[in-house]
Chain A
């Protein structure tokens, strides 16, 4: 073997060994546990805090409204669709910390006229014209009992 290679081989060997040692030290603990990724990443992702409560969370305390809603046209709609995240409220119900949107704009999200909305799915009204004598939709409609019209 020529002298050159006698110098180079040990150098390369040292280089590779150092690389392997560094690699061993730096590789995350759970890497490769389930696949080519950090196993703990599953836990990290699963441990993210919830913001939205679950649908069922409200029934416990608001069974009256639930029952009222169940009989209604709005029965398929989750409480969360209108009231927002709600988890904060579930954990701390005494304070008024939940949305109660009843504006024309809000109801219009679903009910405003748009040709892309199938009329089978939703009855649409002109949110600017429809009974414009009152300001908000909930001034007449009870959101949980839509046909109970207030005068």
Chain B
């Protein structure tokens, strides 16, 4: 009696598991894994969904991106306000890491000849990660910073109250309070250029093609091809910000 009961319940269990496993397999066939950026939220709109790629192996650290950004976007000249900047990482043979960013790299980097002690060194351009799950828009109390349907995080300078909460929430240090308008300010991926079909200033001036931008929804776009061909990585992936800034050749020292 009892035995039978166990058996039939076991059979039931097996059947159930098979059914569950079956649906799992089936549904995973129907819905293949999405790119990192789509991990939780699939954008519903048509239209472009912008992302950025930066190829560290191509960057020569000329700093023209940082310079053009300041000029294009009326960013204050003082070295405390940047929408885009370039860092130089130097790993020495003894394991220490030195990071510098003299004036955000705007004036370029110094000539350096000493190669003896250097284990490796490289430039890392930084800018807003245009996160799909932005920590900054999440915390804005009044809806003055938001993600556009094109996947760009913007600030509404008419509506911003200047509480700085978004500056605190950005893990990448990409926001600042503009000293003149006293509202939050950040990289817009040159929204005013993109909407006119013109490349962002930093992309325009990059001499080596280290920076690219593209439509993540378009399988033929330059960015998607770049992502296909390179082992890209985002910054601070543990924070699950849905960053859409994909670095190639990103080294573990970079944070």
Do A and B contact each other directly (Cβ–Cβ < 8 Å)? Answer: yes
Interface residues of A (CB under 8 A from B): 28, 31, 34-38, 41-42, 44-52, 54-55, 76-78, 80-81, 84-85, 105, 108-110, 112-118, 121-122, 126-128
- Cα distance A80–B64 when bound, in Å? 10
Q: Are B205 and A81 in contact (CB under 8 A)?
A: yes
Please indicate which of the listed interface residues A35, A42, A127 has the most CB atoms of chain B within 10 Å of its own CB.
A42
Q: Which 7 A-B pairs have the closest CB atoms?
A: A41-B156, A37-B146, A109-B108, A48-B192, A112-B111, A116-B121, A36-B143
Q: Are B112 and A113 in contact (CB under 8 A)?
A: yes
What is the interface size of chain B, counting residues whose CB is below 8 A from a CB of the partner?
Answer: 52
B121 CB contacts on chain A under 8 angstroms: 114-116
Q: Does B215 interact with chain A (Cβ within 8 Å)?
A: no
A42 CB contacts on chain B under 8 angstroms: 148, 154
- Cα distance A38–B158 when bound, in Å? 9
Q: Are B208 and A122 in contact (CB under 8 A)?
A: yes
> Digit string of B190-210 for contact with A (CB within 8 Å is 1, else 0)?
011101101101001111110
Our pick among B57, B60, B68, B113 for the contact of A52 (Cβ within 8 Å) is: B68
- Cα distance A46–B194 when bound, in Å? 8
Q: In the complex, how many angstroms separate the beta carbon of B139 from the nearest chain A beta carbon?
A: 13
Q: Are B154 and A126 in contact (CB under 8 A)?
A: no
Known: A41-B156, A116-B109. A54 touches B199 (CB 8 A): yes
Q: In the complex, how many angstroms separate the beta carbon of B108 from the nearest chain A beta carbon?
A: 4
Q: Are A51 and B122 in contact (CB under 8 A)?
A: no
Our pick among B108, B111, B122 for the contact of A126 (Cβ within 8 Å) is: B111
